[in-house]
Amino acid sequence: MNHIKSLLRSIPFLLHLNNEEAGFFFKSGRLVSVKKGQLVDIKKTNSLNIVIDGIFEIESIANRDIVYLSPGSFFGFLPFIENRKKGNVKALVDSRIFVIGEDDLYKLFLMSHKALRGYIKMIESLNFDISDTGKKYFDIKGKVVTVFGRKAGSGKTLLSSLLGLSLSSEKTIILDLSYSGRSLFDLFKQKLTVPLSEKDNERGAAESLLNDRIVKVTENLHLLNISFSARVKVDPAILGPILFILSREYKYIIADLSDSDEDLRNKVFEQTDFVFALTNSKKEMDDVQPVFDRQLKEGQRVFYVRNNFFSKESGQFYGGYIFNRCEGFSDGGDISILENYISEGNLDNYRNAVTSKNRAIVIQSAQHESVLLGSLMLELNRGGKKFDYIYSSSYSYFLSCMLLLSDDYNTLNENMRKFFSSGQFNKIFEITFPDKYIFKSGRILKYAMELAGSKRAEMFQSLPLSYINSGGTQRIFSTGSLQHLMAASLVSEPLCEPVEFAGEKCSSGFPGNYVLPSHLLRTEAAEIFNITISNKEHLSFTDDKYSSFFINYLEASDEQKMPQPEYMDQSKKLVLEVSENEFKFDKISENTMKLSQMLIARII
């Protein structure tokens, strides 16, 4: 069964699925044995069929253009795709296929707006012919924005309304996801509709229900009541179908979210791209950060917001946006006051954060081979090329954080030289003899603290995304103590003691888990570059000062690496092709500098 799951996870349009979605996909399908010579009519099939074992041939009409299908190939139905192939599929030997029906594929997208987004981006990159229905989703590619406040009176509903108006040059809808307090409908002087409190997985029924409940404020700004005044808790599962439908029509979907229902809150966090968090004191910020660290698992970006109304009692504020007072607006109704407030530039930072075509760079996961990335990190520092997301894991993530933490070229160069030195490696990976682990994490945490201090990941303009094993499950961290994230990226179980963070034991997950560009297809990133390493020689430790046990451990891990499936625009694929056989930072950096300069120059 593990072989089958591994094969299925290598299918291009499944690479972006998270663990829950992949589990649903596996459970929804079934294995079917196909005897040699058995035929399947492609035109009549309403299921997706993935070859697990054996070999098939597709024979078109008039016996032309025969195509052979090996394990990992697929045929049949794909959502939003024009299925123009005709003819029969014939098993050439006794074979097995994994079969999943059309309805189950749509249910997968009803579960998650991000699963749909990732699928759309992937099939677009694979140059499939898109159906007319599919083109509606392709053209919109909506973003989900959450305005979150834990306390009543924080200003979240006013900020949600202003943000909605600010974005309404494109079709925008605001979802009321609070149970009580001030409603969006009150603010815009609109009649409050009945909350959507029932789960409905039927696409047609759900769409009809939504159309009846949507209220127009302006031509492009609409409202939808999800939970306000509901007498029972809203089933969080309704969010999937709602976003599935809304993402076809709206460029921006704003969630006005309170903290009164943790299940609903967590589901919204799961589906969102951005969070504007109203934290009107340092204590409020300190209280909400652990919530983000536990619940934001897919690269969501957090912006902390301080409402200027509370500024006198809240002290100094760094690392976020100021929400200036909106004078003259109290009970709502006069939209012109809000529009004037927006025209004065008060929402520019918020709007720009949401509307920007953000770009990401994915840096190959590596342990000691990350030394080959040194010159590239230096060129990123010197070249001034900015990315909104830097996604990596293992030692590569540690280097990415060094890049963000270093003020200048020389500081970065010295920090990396020290990191790869025998003295530093031997110090942080000192062999101990505990009951469970050979390498303790205490020294690694101390070293990370020296570099990162008390900084948090979400405070950086270039957001460092780390792919980390947390409690046995791989996830993306976009918030949290940089010290703990950096330390976790250096430890690999079972030899290394994991780092306690966000209520879980965390480690790099390398070499079994590694970053892929497809992981970010789920995010709102519009452009994704991918940096990989190709070394023609074996990188050896010639300095006998390095711990021989640690060297053997690194090289054994390196041998377990699996090939990385890649399906992306070749112009965004940057390969660092080198021939290095000695683990020497300065020598490698000098030898690879020109190549790194050429690669960075390709990034527009």
**SS3 annotation, 57-85:** EEECHHHCCCEEECCCCEEECCCCECCCC
Q: Are residues 216 and 126 in the same domain?
A: no
Q: Which CATH number is 190's domain given?
A: 3.40.50.300
Q: Residue 140 corresponds to which amino acid? A: I
Same domain, 320 and 199: yes
Strand partners, 305: 278, 321
User: SS3 breakdown of the chain: % helix, strand, coil, rounded to 5?
Assistant: 40, 20, 35
pLDDT at residue 2 is higher than 80? no
475 has a pLDDT exceeding 70: yes
The rounded distance, in Å, linking the Cα atoms of 418 and 399 is: 12
Burial level of 170, CB count in 10 A (0-12/13-18/19+)?
middle
Neighbours of 540 (CB within 10 A): 12
Are the beta carbons of 323 and 305 closer than 8 angstroms?
yes
Structure-block tokens of residue 239? 């969010």
Residue where a domain terminates, one of 305, 327, 355? 355
pLDDT score at 56: 93
Residue found by looking up tokens 């190939």 in the block: 73
Note whether 218 and 283 are same-domain residues: yes
Structure tokens at 120: 């759309």
Pair 104, 210 in one domain: no
Please, what sign has the CA dihedral across residues 105, 107, 111, 117?
Answer: positive
387-403: average pLDDT: 97
Instruction: Say yes or no to pLDDT of 482 above 50.
Output: yes
Cα-based angle 241, 211, 245 (whole degrees, multiple of 5)? 30
Q: Does 230 lie in the same domain as 320?
A: yes
Least confident of 313-317, 443-447, 451-455, 549-553: 313-317
pLDDT (0 to 100) of residue 200: 47
Is the pLDDT higher at 562 or at 54? 54
Q: With b meaning 16 or more CB within 10 Å and e meaning fewer, what string describes 419-457?
A: bbeeeebeebbeeeeeeebbbbbeebbebbbebbeebbb
- What do you get for the CA distance between the two ends of the chain, in Å? 44
Average pLDDT over residues 492-515: 92
- 515 and 444: one domain? yes
| Burial of residue 153 (number of CB atoms within 10 Å: 0-12, 13-18, 19+) | middle
pLDDT band at residue 452 under the 50/70/90 scheme: very high
Residue 217 C-beta-side C-alpha neighbours within 13 Å: 28
**CA–CA dist 159, 149 (Å, integer):** 10
Output the pLDDT for position 248. Answer: 86
CB 365 within 8 A of CB 396: yes
Among candidate residues 111, 135, 159, the one where a domain is terminated: 135
pLDDT top residue among 5 and 562: 5
| Structure confidence at residue 48 (pLDDT) | 93
Separation CA 188–CA 190 (nearest Å)? 5
Task: Supply the pLDDT for residue 281.
Answer: 85
Q: How many percent of the chain have pLDDT more than 90?
A: 61
Say which residue, 388 or 40, is predicted with more confidence.
388
Specify the pLDDT at position 505: 96
pTM of the entire predicted model:
0.93
Same domain, 51 and 166: no
Decide: 179 and 261 in contact? Cβ < 8 Å.
yes
* 368 and 350 within one domain: no
Range of the structural domain that residue 314 is part of:
142-355
Q: Are 125 and 118 in contact (CB under 8 A)?
A: no
- 3-state SS class at 220: coil
What are the pLDDT digits (tens) for 251-296? 999 999 999 899 999 999 999 999 999 998 888 999 999 999 999 9
- Tell me the one-letter amino acid at 385: K
Query: Do 305 and 364 fall into the same domain?
Result: no
Mean pLDDT of 469-489: 96
In angstroms, rounded to a whole number, what is the distance separating the alpha carbons of residues 366 and 511? 8
Question: Are 527 and 423 within one domain?
Answer: yes
Does residue 350 sit in the same domain as residue 371?
A: no
The structural domain count of the chain equals 3
Residues 407 and 517 placed together within one structural domain of the fold? yes
Six-digit token pair at 303?
A: 């912006």
Cis peptide before 494 (omega within 30 of 0): yes
Tokens 């997706």: give the residue: 48
**Cα–Cα distance measured from residue 418 to residue 411, given in angstroms and rounded to the nearest whole number:** 11
Q: What is the mean pLDDT of residues 98-104?
A: 94
Residue 508: which CATH number?
3.40.1090
Q: What is the mean pLDDT of the chain?
A: 89
State the Cα angle at 214 between 213 and 217, rounded to 5°.
140
Confidence band of 593 (pLDDT split at 50, 70, 90): very high
Q: What is the pLDDT of residues 310-347, one digit of tens each?
A: 655 555 566 789 998 887 776 666 888 899 999 999 99
User: For position 438, what pLDDT does the model report?
Assistant: 87
CA distances from 514 to 337, 509, 519 (A): 50, 8, 10
Q: What is the pLDDT of residue 205?
A: 53
pLDDT reported for residue 82: 78
Chain centroid offset of residue 466 CA: 10
Domain boundary, last residue among 311, 330, 355: 355
In this model, does residue 61 exceed pLDDT 60?
A: no
Specify burial of residue 191 (Cβ count, 10 A radius: 0-12, 13-18, 19+): exposed
Mark residue 76 as left, alpha or beta (left: phi above 0; alpha: psi -120 to 50; beta: remaining).
left
List pLDDT tens digits, range 26-47. Answer: 999 999 999 999 988 777 788 9
Residue 140 has pLDDT above 70, yes or no: no
> Would you tell me the crossing angle of helices 374-383 and 409-419 to the nearest 10 degrees?
160
The SS3 call for residue 363 is strand
Task: Supply φ then ψ for residue 299, to 5 degrees.
Answer: 80, 20
Contact criterion met (CB below 8 Å) for 98 and 3: no
Mean per-residue pLDDT, 467-492: 96
Q: So what's the pLDDT on residue 65?
A: 67
The tens digit of pLDDT for each residue in 8-29 reads 888 999 999 998 999 999 999 9
pLDDT in tens, 171-229: 999 999 988 778 898 888 888 888 886 544 455 556 777 888 899 999 999 999 998 87
Helix (H, G, I), strand (E, B) or coil at 582: strand
**Within 13 Å and on the Cβ side, how many CA atoms surround 324?**
12
Chain segment 106-126, per-residue pLDDT in tens = 999 988 989 999 998 898 888
Q: Which ranges constitute the DSSP H helices of 456-534?
A: 482-490
Give yes or no for a contact between 108 and 48, defined as CB atoms under 8 angstroms apart.
Answer: no
Q: Specify burial of residue 238 (Cβ count, 10 A radius: 0-12, 13-18, 19+).
A: buried
Q: How far apart are CA 157 and CA 41, in angstroms?
A: 55
What are the angstrom distances between the C-alpha of 343 and each of 218, 306, 336? Answer: 17, 20, 10
Distances (CA, A) of 442 to 393, 471, 475, 499, 504: 20, 19, 23, 9, 16
What Å distances lie between residue 34 and 17, 39, 98, CA to CA? 28, 9, 11
Identify whether the C-beta of residue 530 lies closer than 8 Å to the C-beta of residue 574. yes
